Amino acid sequence: MNKIDSFPEKYFAAVPGIIGWVVLSARTAFARVGASLLELPAMPASIPLDDWTVAVVDWLALNLGPFFDFIQLMLNTINDALLAAIQWIPIFVVEIGGLDIRFPVWSLLLFFLLWYLAGQISTGLLGLVTLWLAANFGLYVETTETFALTLTSALIAISLGIPSGILAGISDTVHNVIRPVLDLMQTMPVFVYLIPAVIFFGMGAAPGAVATVIFAYPPSVRLTNLGIREVPQELVEAGEAFGCNYWQLLMKVQIPVARPSIMQGVNQSIMLALSMAVVAALIGAGGLGGEVVRGIQRMRVGQGFVAGLAVVFTAMILDRATANIGARE
């Protein structure tokens, strides 16, 4: 008789259990050894960068308070003015079948604006439908607040970013200096910007705008710099041959040729400004981000989903409004 045939079947049934017990025991033993090896004694930092950072922030807050108050007043004024202009356009409510259906006039204006900017009637319809949906989700006021904060931050970031990109494009020194700064601004976690913003500017739209400007600034600089540097050298030499001075060469040759790249940077800055404006709700910026935060805090899945969908609608409108401007003649 074969030895395997003589082996009782009940022992075969116990083999998987034995293997499982051995694996589990080995796993537990290795976990204990690893934990004991990782239990290193607490060591003070050799370079107390966190303490130095706190000291610098405290010094700035104490000695430059009036300057930060002026910046806060300016940002709040710009944001409130844009919000008032947006909300000045009326929204009509019509009762249909027992339901209050909202018809924002902005949706009609967006239809013609996006149709003109994109050159496609479908894009205009997209803007009309998305804003109408956001209004009938009950988030029209929050959507306008997010629009205002995004536009405020994007305008400041772009107005600073394009000149910086031009300087970086025509000067290798500026390019080498500003490049690591942009790397730092883009790779730093976005929530880190909120801490000093609250210390310097308090709660509300102003610190949200500051954090958003920092986050949305790099794309316009990088793509403007790239566009200026990619202008064919033959065009620059032709402009010089026709007697263009430094300013004329920049304004009539380099910037027009680099316009598609510059507008791509504008588009990316606006989109990043929108994403950061939503995060800025954590420090009281309000808008659609506030609805998302409240949905998370109260575990309201529907509220968070609808607010997130309204953010998507807002992003689609802003993206379509700026995506094809650089290609227009």
**Residues in contact with 303: Cβ distance below 8 Å, sequence separation at least 6, in sequence order:** 291, 294, 295
Instruction: Please report the DSSP string for 14-34 in residue order.
Output: HHHHHHHHHHHHHHHHHHHHH
> What's the average pLDDT block by block, 10 residues per block, for the chain (329 residues)?
51 57 62 53 68 84 85 88 88 74 85 82 85 85 87 90 89 88 85 83 84 89 89 80 78 84 88 84 79 80 83 83 64
pLDDT value of residue 36: 54
Instruction: Domain ranges for the chain, please list them.
Output: 3-38, 51-88+137-327
pLDDT value of residue 317: 83
pLDDT for 80-92, tens place per residue?
A: 898 898 888 888 8
Q: CATH top-level class for 51-88+137-327?
A: mainly alpha
CA atoms within a 13 Å half-sphere pointing along the CA-CB vector of 253: 23
pLDDT value of residue 20: 59
pLDDT value of residue 288: 81
Cα torsion 112, 118, 123, 129: sign = negative
Cα dihedral 122, 126, 127, 129, rounded to 10, equals 130
pLDDT value of residue 1: 47
In angstroms, the CA 144 to CA 84 distance is 9
pLDDT value of residue 285: 78
pLDDT value of residue 108: 87
In angstroms, the CA 31 to CA 37 distance is 10
